Amino acid sequence: MIQFADIPGRSLPLFTVAGRRVRLLDDADAPALQRLFDRSGDYFDLLEGRPAGPGAARDELREGPPERVPHDLFALGIDGGQGELAGYIGALRHHRRPDQWYLGFLLLDPAWRGRGIGSTAYWAFQHWIQTQGAQSLLLAVLADNLRGHRFWRSLGFGSPRSYPARQIGLKRHVLIEYEKDLRV
């Protein structure tokens, strides 16, 4: 059985991204996460064909397989200053095996995009989960998120597998799952 390092409490930063603290979010952070979702309407439009619903952030902080919530669900916020979030990382550990993580969400405030911060956030996250024993990371990209595919491939993700179409909000999507082997 893999032993995971202790995860610090809510107020302690887990790591930093471009000098910004990244910490675990909880229910009290739902309003700030919802504001980030509201500012990221372009992504929700691509994902669901509509803006983020009013309870999207609260659901995101609680959602997941019931036997896994909350201890395997990691909702990480990148501090944007003045009570706002510059970005969000949602992940699940022990995904299909104890040493496998699933990255469900990487989202930056539109004002923070296009300056390399997304890539920096990914590498900091990867480094942090490696310190927690991760050897494999999975994620899924919407088939029609072409920039998303370029982004993840540039970060070393491969072995794409296609899944049957499913309904997300108002849209029907094919999802492509990628995996990265973190042992190399």
Ligand X SMILES: CC(C)(COP(=O)(O)OP(=O)(O)OC[C@H]1O[C@@H](n2cnc3c(N)ncnc32)[C@H](O)[C@@H]1OP(=O)(O)O)[C@@H](O)C(=O)NCCC(=O)NCCS
Applying CB under 6 A, which residues contact ligand X?
A: 43, 106-108, 113-119, 141, 145, 147-148, 150-151
Angstrom distance (rounded) from CA 46 to CA 27: 26
Rounded to 10°, the helix 30-39/41-48 angle is 80
Judged by beta carbon, residue 118 or residue 133, the one nearer ligand X is 118
Least distance from ligand X to the Cβ atom of residue 37, Å: 11
Residue 61 structure tokens: 């902080």
Judged by beta carbon, residue 30 or residue 141, the one nearer ligand X is 141
Least distance from ligand X to the Cβ atom of residue 157, Å: 10
Judged by beta carbon, residue 10 or residue 115, the one nearer ligand X is 115
Least distance from ligand X to the Cβ atom of residue 76, Å: 13
Least distance from ligand X to the Cβ atom of residue 152, Å: 7
Determine the residue with CB nearest ligand X. Answer: 118
Alpha carbons within 13 A on the beta-carbon side of 153: 9
Judged by beta carbon, residue 73 or residue 121, the one nearer ligand X is 121
Least distance from ligand X to the Cβ atom of residue 50, Å: 16
Judged by beta carbon, residue 119 or residue 131, the one nearer ligand X is 119
Least distance from ligand X to the Cβ atom of residue 155, Å: 9
Judged by beta carbon, residue 4 or residue 126, the one nearer ligand X is 126
